[in-house]
Structures are given as C-alpha cells and as structure tokens.
Amino acid sequence: MPSNPSNLSSHLSPATDHADTATGYPTRIMREQNEEAERAQRERIEQSSELNTPAMRIRAWERLHRLTLPRDSAHAVLDVVAKATHLTLEQVREEQRRRSEPARPSQLNDSAGNHEGSAGS
C-alpha cells in the first residue's frame, strides 16, 4: 500500500506550532510558579492574621504546608504551628480537641436538613 505524503502532513504540526509550544511551556511553568508563590504568600498572611480565628489560622498553615494538624497533643510540630500562627500552644491543642470531638446532633441535623429540604417538598 503506497503512502500518501499529503495525508501524513495533515497529522504533523507546523513548525510554528512547535515553536509556540517550545516557548509556551517555559512561560506556563513560570506563570504556575508565580501563582504558587502568590498563593503561599496569601496563606502565610492568613495563618498569622489576628482577624482570623485559631481554627482559620491553623487551616491556613495546613494548606500552606500541605499537612494536617497531628492528633497527638505532645507532637513536636505543635510548637512550630503555634509560632507560625501566632497562637499559644494551648490554643493549638484546643483546636486539636475540638477536631477530635464527635459532631453534635444539632450539627448533624442541620447538615441533613440542608440536603433533604428541597427533595421533601
């Protein structure tokens, strides 16, 4: 079966497309790195802002470092979290306790009611 060169050329990218891809990739990587740096800066501000609750500050710390607050109340990283969030160690431990508590029945009823309210009518 003879091959048709015109059919092959339709499957190949023109040279200009290759050049755009070659210059576009580094530009995209730089843009993504800049966006990540801006996100990290916002998270640093959020984690220590006195306008935020301790829970909000700790969540910002978790997002920034892509970690979750340890459950162990004696974990060494709690001191690091407290310093970074400008909270006391006791405030960080209080957030640990709050997270370990089971959801209260009123919270369960509220969340269930929100999902079922429109379907039951």
Confidence at 119, pLDDT banded by 50, 70, 90: very low
Choose between 110 and 61: higher pLDDT.
Answer: 61
Determine contact, residues 54/87, Cβ cutoff 8 Å. yes
Residue type, 119: A
Residue 65 in 3-state DSSP?
helix
pLDDT over 90 percentage in the chain = 63
Q: What is the pLDDT of residues 4-46, one digit of tens each?
A: 555 554 555 554 445 556 678 999 999 999 999 999 999 999 9
Q: What is the mean pLDDT of residues 101-110?
A: 71
Residue 104 in 3-state DSSP?
coil
Whether the full predicted model's pTM is greater than 0.85, yes or no, is no
Query: Would you kindly state where each structural domain of the chain is located, as residue ranges?
Result: 19-101
Q: Can you read off the two tokens belonging to residue 6?
A: 């015109």
Q: Can you read off the two tokens belonging to residue 106?
A: 């009123």
